Structure 1
Amino acid sequence: MKKTITKGTGNESVMIYDGKIEWLYDPETNVVQKIKVPEEYQLEIDYFNLFNDILNKYDISVSGNDTIDGRTAYLLEAKPKEGSEESILSDGIKIWVDEETWIP
C-alpha cells in the first residue's frame, strides 16, 4: 500500500506499507524512516480510508497521553462535525497512537 501525504508547505511525504514494514519518506529532510510493524498491528484493514473518513467528517483533538501495554500512546478523539453526513462512526471514536512508531 502506498500513500502520498501533502503538507501545508506543498511538499509530499510518501508512505509505503507491505503489511510488515512501513517506510516513510520526508522530502523536506530527505530522510526515510523504516518501521517494522509488530505482528499484532499487521492487520489487513485499510486504515487510509478509515482515517480519510474521520478527517473529512470529524473534528480531531489530542486528549492526552496514555500507557497501553507498557508503551506511551497519544489519545486522539474524533467527534462528528456539525452538519456532517452520516459516517462509519456514529458518536465519535478514540484512537490511541503509539508515541514512538505512530501506529494506531
Structure 2
Amino acid sequence: MVRLPLTPAEVERGQRLGALLRRARGERSMLLTALEAGVSPETLRKIESGRVATPAFPTIAAIADVLGLSLDTVWSEINRSDDGVGPARPARHPAQRLAS
C-alpha cells in the first residue's frame, strides 16, 4: 500500500495531538505511561513529538484513557482552527486517505 503524503493540516493536527498528550502526561514517566497504554515508549515518543501525525485510533484511545483524557477532549483539541474558535476545515475528503 502506498501512503499519501501528509497535508500541512494533518501535520498540524499531529503536532497538536502531541502537545496535548505531553501536557496531560506532565511529570509522569513516558515509559510507565506507554506500558500502561499497551504501546511502546518509542511509539508514544513519536506521537508526542509529532513524528506520527496520524496514529491509529485504538492507540490514541488507550493513551487518552491512561492520561484521563476523554476522546471528546482529544478530538476538539486536535481539530480546532488556528484561531481556537471552531473546528479546522479538513484538507481533503476522508475517503481519499487510508488510515493505517
TM-score range, shorter chain: under 0.3
With the length of structure 2 as denominator, give the TM-score of the two structures.
0.23
The structure having more radius of gyration, on CA atoms, is 1
The answer to which structure has the higher helix fraction is: 2
